[in-house]
């Protein structure tokens, strides 16, 4: 093969790879998503230890466990949250066969990747504190939803504070 043909082929392949790399990313509801599916919903949504078989057992049981809240850009358990976790641990001790999932949530500020990592740190902090209170770690799974499941959609500090939370769900396997 001549040098000119090789050069033309290299240019052609490079141009093709460049064009393919600039393709528009699929949006929710497009390729790879089931009709009616939403981004961040369903199996595989979120990051963490949750298994695909984990589902909420009952609304009533999960309602017995109260959410905790975090300061902006923090995963440190506050004094108020420690009291809530203590109450949650008492419920878990009374219901010794129950397993829970701790969901880490964030407000919308920050990148998706950063918020998924922060949500994971928040869920892990809650799990670790419950373990310090005597709850077996194997009864607690964690998942991060980052900013994907907000309770409030307004762009105010009060709303953002509601979204920075650890949420507890009773699960079955």
Asked if CATH classification 3.40.50.1360 holds for the domain at 47-172, the reply, yes or no, is: no
Residue 137, phi then psi, degrees to nearest 5:
-60, -30
Q: Give the rounded distance of the alpha carbon of 134 from its chain centre.
A: 25
The stretch 56-63 carries a mean pLDDT of 64
The predicted structure's pLDDT at residue 11: 61
Alpha-carbon distances, residue 26 vs 31, 32, 34 (angstroms)? 6, 8, 13
Across residues 21-34, what is the average pLDDT?
Answer: 43
Q: Is the pLDDT of residue 55 over 60?
A: no
Mean pLDDT of 80-102: 96
Q: Are 144 and 29 in contact (CB under 8 A)?
A: no
Question: Does residue 33 register a pLDDT over 50?
Answer: no
Residue 27, pLDDT > 90, answer no
pLDDT at 115 (0 to 100)? 97
- Which DSSP state fits 26? P
Per-residue pLDDT at 75 exceeds 50: yes
Average pLDDT, the chain: 80
Contact 66, 167 (CB under 8 A): no
Domain segments of the chain: what residues? 47-172
């Amino acid at each position: 093969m001549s040098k000119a043909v090789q050069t033309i082929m290299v240019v052609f392949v490079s141009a093709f790879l460049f064009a393919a790399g600039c393709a528009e990313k699929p949006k929710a509801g497009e390729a790879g998503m089931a009709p009616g599916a939403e981004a961040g919903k369903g199996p595989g949504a979120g990051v963490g230890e949750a298994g695909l078989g984990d589902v909420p057992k009952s609304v009533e049981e999960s309602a017995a466990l109260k959410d905790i809240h975090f300061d902006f850009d923090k995963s440190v358990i506050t004094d108020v949250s420690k009291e809530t976790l203590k109450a949650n641990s008492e419920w878990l001790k009374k219901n010794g066969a129950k397993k829970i999932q701790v969901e880490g949530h964030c407000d919308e500020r920050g990148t998706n990747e950063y918020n998924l990592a922060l949500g994971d740190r928040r869920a892990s902090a809650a799990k670790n504190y419950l373990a310090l209170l005597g709850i077996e770690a194997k009864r607690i799974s964690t998942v991060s939803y980052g900013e994907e499941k907000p309770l409030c959609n307004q762009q105010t500090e009060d709303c953002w504070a509601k979204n920075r939370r650890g949420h507890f769900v009773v699960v079955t396997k």
